[in-house]
């Protein structure tokens, strides 16, 4: 699946069993300046989108929206997107509406909508006179519509799903070190120097940064997102959305294991997000930090899916073998 012919994107549909998820969605978040002089991160956490849009949009339940914007060259671009997110990502992008969210045409249009939203947001930053052309932001959004999860990413924020304790990455990092991105950049006349796009930017996709773009031709730096769809099931426990300040010092599985343990202890996604950020700080991350934890299961459900240990008595034969082993026979 992909966006319409006029909008090209890399889209991966994550397959999983057909069982539907149960329970309500709840989330928590935390951000920290880290070792930097200022915090250029922004994030959005809306467990119930209908509370924001009211009766304007009839939406399935649940309908939730989350986003992390990791700014650079100042916080203005990230702050602008946070302030105008509902307009850009829902209204102006023509989010499709239907009572049948499993319809293939609806799901395709949902991808197109995410592509439009990112491009609209990118253009809005170009048109906003108060924002420097040297200011930009990476972006990752996650939209939950019923059992469907749609993630869209431009940059190096990352979304990772916990599926029965196993980390499943739902986004692609757009960095110059990745061959696919490097090939695309060089084909458009860009270059990679010391791991930076045109010797300047650590990512190959971002919103803003219009000093590196032109409306008259396709620039090596683009705002087009990768869009991925996941069908959520009872196996899916929670989602982590975080900026690279987390992922630079923790693997996907480390982060999932850490959050899973803390959810069992506290059953509090806010606490888990805060502890995840603190863990990255203890590992000497060099960046701002923002993390969102979205829970699909309760702590009791997590405990019930954990591998258990069964106590049993040794058989007579096993006891004899053990006795002989201990006696050196």
What's the pLDDT tens digit per position in 263-277? Answer: 999 999 999 999 999
- pLDDT for the residue numbered 28: 98
Check: CB of residue 176 under 8 Å from CB of residue 195: yes
Alpha helices in the chain (DSSP H): 50-53, 76-83, 85-86, 104-127, 179-187, 244-247, 252-266, 269-282, 299-304, 316-326
- Please report, for the domain that includes residue 35, its CATH number: 3.60.40.10
Region 45-61 average pLDDT: 79
pLDDT single digits (tens) 302-320? 655 544 433 344 556 655 6
DSSP 315: P
DSSP 60: -
pLDDT band at residue 104, thresholds of 50, 70 and 90? confident
**Is 326 within the bounds of a domain?**
no
- What lies within 8 Å, CB to CB, of 143 at 6+ separation is 63, 64, 65, 110, 114, 149, 150, 151
Residue 20 scores a pLDDT above 50:
no
Angle at 201 between CA 197 and CA 202, to 5 degrees: 90
- Name the residue range of residue 98's domain: 11-307
Look up the pTM and report it. 0.85
Region 33-53 average pLDDT: 93
**Is 328 within the bounds of a domain?**
no
Check: CB of residue 206 under 8 Å from CB of residue 138: yes
**Is 327 within the bounds of a domain?**
no
Rounded Cα gap, residues 212 and 200, in angstroms: 10
- What lies within 8 Å, CB to CB, of 229 at 6+ separation is 1, 11, 13, 14, 107, 110, 111, 148, 149, 150
Nearest alpha-carbon partner for 42 in 70, 61, 10? 70
**Is 1 within the bounds of a domain?**
no
Number of domains composing the chain: 1
Nearest alpha-carbon partner for 203 in 230, 185, 228? 185
**Percent of the chain's residues with pLDDT above 70:** 81
**Is 41 within the bounds of a domain?**
yes
Maximum CA pair distance of the chain?
86
**Is 286 within the bounds of a domain?**
yes
**Is 321 within the bounds of a domain?**
no
**Is 161 within the bounds of a domain?**
yes
- Burial state string for 202-225 with b = 16 or more CB within 10 A and e = fewer than 16: bbbbbbbbbebbeeeeebbbbbbb
Check: CB of residue 23 under 8 Å from CB of residue 265: no
């Amino acid at each position: 699946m992909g966006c319409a012919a006029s909008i090209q994107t890399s889209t991966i549909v994550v397959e999983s069993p057909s069982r539907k998820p149960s329970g309500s969605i709840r989330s928590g978040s935390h951000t920290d300046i880290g070792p930097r002089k200022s915090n250029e991160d922004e994030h959005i956490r809306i467990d119930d989108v209908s509370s924001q849009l009211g009766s304007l949009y009839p939406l399935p339940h649940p309908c939730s929206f989350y986003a992390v914007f990791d700014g650079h060259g100042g916080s203005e671009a990230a702050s602008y997107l946070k302030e105008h997110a509902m307009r850009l990502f829902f209204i102006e992008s023509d989010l499709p509406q239907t009572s049948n969210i499993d319809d293939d045409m609806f799901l395709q249009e949902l991808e197109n909508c995410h592509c439009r939203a990112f491009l609209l947001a990118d253009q809005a930053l170009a048109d906003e006179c108060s924002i420097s052309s040297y200011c930009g932001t990476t972006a990752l959004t996650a939209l939950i519509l019923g059992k469907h999860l749609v993630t869209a990413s431009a940059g190096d924020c990352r979304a990772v799903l916990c599926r029965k304790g196993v980390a499943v990455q739902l986004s692609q990092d757009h960095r110059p070190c990745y061959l696919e991105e490097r090939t695309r950049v060089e084909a458009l006349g860009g270059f990679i120097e010391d791991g930076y796009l045109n010797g300047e930017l650590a990512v190959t996709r971002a919103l803003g940064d219009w000093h590196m773009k032109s409306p008259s031709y396709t620039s090596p730096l683009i705002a087009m997102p990768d869009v991925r769809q996941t069908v959520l099931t009872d196996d899916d426990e929670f989602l982590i959305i975080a900026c690279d300040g987390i992922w630079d010092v923790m693997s996907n599985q480390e982060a999932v294991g850490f959050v899973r343990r803390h959810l069992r202890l506290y059953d509090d996604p806010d606490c888990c997000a805060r502890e995840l950020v603190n863990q990255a700080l203890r590992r000497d991350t060099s960046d701002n930090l923002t993390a969102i934890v979205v829970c699909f299961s309760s702590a009791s459900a997590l405990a019930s899916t954990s591998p258990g240990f069964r106590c049993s008595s040794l058989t007579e034969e096993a006891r004899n073998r053990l006795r002989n082993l201990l006696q050196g026979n």
